């Protein structure tokens, strides 16, 4: 096909690493692996097959250690830790058990056993509701690909030979492939699968490579050699763009460079509205790398430290000492700023291989969060002891997830008093006045807000769960995605009532869900009465920019009018009429 006969078109995706890029497409199957034919083996052969597996595991571990070293030198220590997690997966006891059962008992060749076991483990991760854990399926497949490539002695597709300035188009991007990309040769990435917290995405952001994920049928609609523009702001891929579109993006790239320079200039400026009202802007983190980024961007503190990562990277329930060291390392990054530590929030939908839980038909409505911790009090007690020990030297607060009512809150407060008493008997130093908070994520907690506020020092709204529970719309389901709408009048009315109740009880209240990190909702949240937001480190500067561009009195007038509207359509139309660029 000649350039003149190439048809201009556009497809949509989700922005995972922002920016604008252009270049010739290189379509590749970066995640494919070789398996070979399925074979039946004898008992003697099965033993030899397992020996082959052990040899392959040793070689793959060496490969991962080498890759970790290279990533640490090129990108950073925290990004390199991704491959520590992959090494743990490589030695995961449950994975080995699945493989050995298929090979030794099922009498099948080791390549097929590994392939089937990897697919089973990956499918378990995919079923997990929590996005972070669900996106670890790519790491499982990445480890599986390396094992199978080693066992089959094949070179399955990975990193293609690149010409300068290419845009890679693939079905799935694996962390080990991303880690080896040369940002001088790769302008951008277009991926059919992927996730916002996937390790491949984290690496792409660290390398500064624009990335779009969930681009349906990209490998079918784009051919190698097609000229592409990736709009990593609006989530668009232009295929063989017209000269008019090219001119538009010439201007956009110039504007983006100027905007990026402006945002960097905000780092040392205070987070205040145009009329001088201070807003607390904190970071949501899951690991030490996030804390380092938050400190670099001058966040006011950590508004939500998700501690699940500390459990996920272990092959056992972390001890009190292990947790203390992990939390201390993270808090050191922000000292003397406060770190709000959310205790473990898992359920049967959040997989910890060493802590199997009974499967539930509807994990979102099952034993998770605070309910699960009360069912396993030793896990809660160990974590609380680690946090209180940290409080002796660092300003920390404790946040309880998925609070449903007073009974649960009073039970965890009793656990806190027990821990404080035991530490005092042991002469362990701690701060007896550590602030205690409750997450408002359930309708029952929203209804009981005035009562709950009397028992805690602060409140934090998890909008992701609160919206889905209020609207009975699973945010992970494509079938009901259109019903998950943060601008629903019911959601806005509830948020307004929560801000009012917290003010009446003189308790601080923060918004830490996805609404807080979306600049489209910043003016709305400020107008509703919230003066504290907690967002991903990558969102801090954009949200600060929006706050500093907002006049609080105007935002409050804006919200008063919105709260009088009855439908989502009316609210969105009002926003468009107000010429809000986000709508």
pLDDT in tens, 31-69: 777 777 889 999 999 999 999 999 999 999 999 999 988
Is the pLDDT confidence value at 224 over 60?
yes
Q: What tokens were used for 403?
A: 């609070």
Is the pLDDT confidence value at 6 over 60?
yes
* Percent of the chain predicted with pLDDT > 90: 59
Closest CA to 534 of 335, 202, 332, 297: 297
Q: Name the least confident of 90-99, 250-259, 297-306, 439-448.
A: 250-259
Domains and CATH numbers, the chain: 9-31+159-253 (3.50.30.10), 43-152 (1.10.274.10), 279-575 (3.20.20.60)
Long-range contacts formed by 235-238: CB under 8 A, 24+ apart: 235/12, 235/13, 235/14, 235/15, 236/10, 236/11, 236/12, 236/13, 237/10, 237/11, 237/12, 237/13, 237/190, 237/212, 238/8, 238/9, 238/10
Of the residues 28, 103, 199, 282, only one is catalytic, namely 199
Look up 199 and say whether it is catalytic. Answer: yes
Is the pLDDT confidence value at 285 over 60?
yes
Residue 579's pLDDT is 61
Is the pLDDT confidence value at 127 over 80?
no
DSSP letter for each residue of 244-278: HHHHHHHHHHHHHHHHHHHHHTTTTS--B-TT--B
Average confidence (pLDDT) over 398-423: 96
Average confidence (pLDDT) over 15-24: 89
76 and 83 in contact (C-beta within 8 Å)? no
Cα(523)–Cα(527) distance, integer angstroms: 6
Residue 4's pLDDT is 41
* Percent of the chain predicted with pLDDT > 70: 91
Q: Count the alpha carbons within 13 Å of 189 in the hemisphere toward its beta carbon.
A: 36
Q: What is the per-residue pLDDT across 436-482, written as a single tens digit (0 to 9) for each?
A: 999 999 999 999 999 999 999 999 999 988 999 999 887 666 566 67
Q: Phi and psi for 368 in degrees, rounded to 5?
A: -140, 170
DSSP H or E run through 53: helix 43-74
Q: Which residues pair with 228 in a beta bridge?
A: 23, 239
Cα(339)–Cα(337) distance, integer angstroms: 7
Is the pLDDT confidence value at 348 over 50?
no
Confidence of residue 483 (pLDDT cuts 50, 70, 90): confident
Residue 5's pLDDT is 47
Residue 413's pLDDT is 97
CB atoms within 10 A of CB 54: 10
Q: Which residues pair with 170 in a beta bridge?
A: 191
User: Who has greater pLDDT, 55 or 8?
Assistant: 55
Of the residues 28, 103, 282, 512, only one is catalytic, namely 512
271 and 300 in contact (C-beta within 8 Å)? yes
Going from the C-alpha of 104 to that of each of 50, 58, 117, 148, 574, the distances in angstroms are 8, 20, 13, 18, 65
Residue 176's pLDDT is 85
Is the pLDDT confidence value at 366 over 90?
no
Residue 373's pLDDT is 93
Output the average pLDDT for the chain. Answer: 88
Q: Name the least confident of 124-133, 318-327, 526-535.
A: 124-133
Confidence of residue 251 (pLDDT cuts 50, 70, 90): confident
Look up 30 and say whether it is catalytic. Answer: no
Residue 477's pLDDT is 62
DSSP letter for each residue of 419-453: HHHHHHHTT----TT-EEEEEE-SHHHHHTHHHHH
Residue 555's pLDDT is 95
Is the pLDDT confidence value at 548 over 90?
yes
User: Who has greater pLDDT, 580 or 295?
Assistant: 295
Confidence of residue 575 (pLDDT cuts 50, 70, 90): confident
**Beta pairing, strands 227-231 & 20-27:** antiparallel
Confidence of residue 81 (pLDDT cuts 50, 70, 90): confident
Query: Ranked by mean pLDDT, which of 146-160, 291-305, 360-374, 417-431 comes out on top?
Result: 417-431
Average confidence (pLDDT) over 8-15: 89
320 and 385 in contact (C-beta within 8 Å)? yes
Is the pLDDT confidence value at 537 over 70?
yes
DSSP H or E run through 26: strand 20-27
Average confidence (pLDDT) over 107-115: 94
Confidence of residue 1 (pLDDT cuts 50, 70, 90): very low
Average confidence (pLDDT) over 166-176: 90
Q: Which residues pair with 40 in a beta bridge?
A: 108
Q: What is the per-residue pLDDT across 257-266, written as a single tens digit (0 to 9) for each?
A: 777 777 888 9
Residue 2's pLDDT is 42
Q: What is the per-residue pLDDT across 306-334, written as a single tens digit (0 to 9) for each?
A: 998 788 767 789 999 999 999 999 999 89
Residue 202's pLDDT is 86
Residue 363's pLDDT is 62
Query: Ranked by mean pLDDT, which of 11-25, 191-205, 290-304, 453-467 comes out on top?
Result: 453-467
Confidence of residue 298 (pLDDT cuts 50, 70, 90): very high
User: Who has greater pLDDT, 293 or 524?
Assistant: 524
């Amino acid at each position: 096909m000649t350039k003149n006969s190439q048809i201009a078109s556009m497809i949509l995706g989700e922005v995972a690493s922002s920016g604008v890029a252009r270049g010739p497409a290189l379509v590749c199957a970066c995640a494919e692996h070789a398996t070979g034919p399925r074979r039946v083996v004898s008992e003697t052969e099965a033993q030899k097959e397992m020996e082959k597996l052990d040899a392959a595991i040793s070689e793959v571990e060496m490969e991962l250690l080498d890759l970790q070293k290279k990533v640490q030198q090129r990108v950073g220590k925290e990004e390199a830790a991704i491959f520590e997690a992959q090494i743990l997966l490589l030695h995961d006891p449950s994975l080995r058990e699945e493989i050995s059962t298929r090979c030794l008992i099922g009498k099948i060749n080791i390549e097929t056993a590994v392939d089937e076991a990897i697919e089973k483990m990956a499918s378990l991760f995919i079923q997990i509701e929590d996005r972070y854990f669900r996106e670890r399926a790519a790491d499982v497949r990445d480890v599986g690909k390396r094992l199978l490539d080693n066992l089959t002695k094949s070179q399955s597709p990975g990193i293609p030979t690149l010409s300068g300035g290419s845009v890679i188009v693939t079905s799935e991007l694996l962390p080990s492939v991303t880690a080896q990309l040369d940002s001088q040769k790769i302008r951008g990435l277009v991926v059919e699968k992927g996730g916002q917290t996937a390790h491949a995405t984290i690496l792409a952001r660290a390398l500064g490579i624009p990335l779009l994920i969930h681009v349906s049928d990209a490998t079918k609609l784009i051919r190698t050699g097609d000229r592409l523009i990736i709009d990593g702001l609006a989530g668009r891929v232009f295929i063989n763009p017209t000269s008019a579109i090219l001119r538009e993006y010439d201007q956009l790239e110039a504007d983006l460079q100027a905007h990026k320079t402006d945002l960097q200039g905000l780092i040392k400026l205070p987070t205040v509205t145009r009329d001088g009202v201070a807003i607390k802007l904190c970071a949501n983190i899951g690991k030490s790398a996030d804390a380092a980024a938050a400190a670099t961007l001058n966040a006011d503190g950590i508004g939500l430290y998700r501690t699940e990562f500390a459990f996920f990277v272990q092959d056992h329930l972390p001890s009190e000492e292990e947790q203390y060291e992990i939390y201390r390392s993270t808090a050191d990054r922000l000292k003397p700023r406060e770190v709000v530590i959310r205790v473990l929030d898992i359920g049967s939908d959040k997989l910890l291989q060493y802590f199997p839980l009974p499967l539930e038909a509807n994990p979102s409505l099952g034993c998770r969060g605070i309910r699960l911790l009360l069912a396993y009090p030793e896990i809660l007690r160990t974590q609380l002891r680690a946090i209180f020990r940290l409080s002796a030297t660092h300003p920390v607060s404790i946040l309880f997830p998925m609070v449903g009512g007073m009974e649960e809150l009073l039970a965890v407060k009793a656990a806190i008093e027990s821990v404080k008493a035991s530490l005092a008997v042991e002469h362990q130093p701690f701060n007896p006045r550590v602030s205690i908070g409750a997450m408002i994520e359930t309708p029952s907690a929203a209804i009981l807000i005035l009562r709950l506020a009397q028992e805690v020092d602060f409140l934090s709204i998890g909008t992701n769960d609160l919206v889905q529970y209020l609207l009975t719309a699973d945010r992970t389901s494509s079938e009901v995605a259109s019903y998950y709408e943060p601008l629903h009048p019911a959601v806005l009315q509830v948020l307004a009532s929560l801000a009012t109740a917290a003010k009446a009880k003189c308790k601080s209240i923060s918004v830490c869900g996805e609404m807080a990190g979306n600049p489209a909702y910043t003016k709305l949240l400020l107008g509703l009465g919230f003066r504290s937001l907690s967002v991903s480190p990558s969102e801090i500067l954009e949200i600060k920019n929006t706050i500093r561009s907002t006049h609080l009195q105007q935002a409050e007038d804006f919200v008063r009018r919105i709260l009088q509207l009855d439908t989502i359509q009316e609210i969105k139309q009002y926003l468009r009429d107000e010429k809000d660029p986000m709508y």
